[in-house]
Amino acid sequence: MDIKHPAKAGSLESNDIYVMVEPSSEEGIVLELDSIVMRQFGRHIEAAIKETVTKLGIDNIRIVAKDRGALDFTIKARVETAVKRALEE
């Protein structure tokens, strides 16, 4: 399944993450993450985002995420909301 249009969720505030998704011209899940804790948790956050997207059954997508120290469940909720918005007609 592919998303239909760009969408976003979240905020740039502390302890949150701003997730933007858009249809991708490339195959697969393309993720660009900026995080204030990139060095400590970058890989972990990337894995959490990709896992959420995969679980939602999305094959091709570009995700740009600006993380401000969000916890796992916040990350997952924001990603899920953005993807669901992007699937709406």
Partner 1 sequence: MKIFGINLAGPVREEVERFLASNGLKLEKDVEYTAVAVCREEIVGTCSFAGNVVKCFAVRPDWQGAGIAAQLLTHISDILFSKGITETFIFTKPENGQLFSGLGYRSVAATPQVILLEGGTANIGRYINEMVREAGINGTEKAAIVMNCNPFTLGHRYLIETAARENEQVIVFVVEENRSCFSFTQRLNLVRQGTADLTNVIVIPGGRYIISANTFPTYFLKDRQISVYQELDALIFARYLAPAFNIRIRYVGTEPHCQVTNNYVEALQKILPSYGVKVCLVERVKSKGECISASRVRQLYEKCHWEELRDLLPPCTYDFLRNYPNPGSQANQAD
- Residue 62 is a binding residue for partner 1 (CB under 8 A): yes
Query: Binder to partner 1 among 1, 2, 23, 32 (CB under 8 A)?
Result: 32
Record the tokens describing residue 4, joined without a space. Answer: 């239909």
Which residue among 2, 28, 36, 44 contacts partner 1 (CB under 8 A)? Answer: 36
Binding flag, residue 37, partner 1 (CB under 8 A): no
Tell me how far apart the alpha carbons of residues 23 and 36 are, in angstroms, rounded to a whole number.
26
List of E strands, 2-89: 7-10, 17-22, 29-35, 61-67
Under 8 Å CB-to-CB from 76, ≥6 apart: which residues? 48, 52
Q: Does 13 bind partner 1 (CB under 8 A)?
A: yes
Quick one: which segment of 38-46, 48-56, 59-67, 73-81 binds partner 1 (CB under 8 A)? 59-67
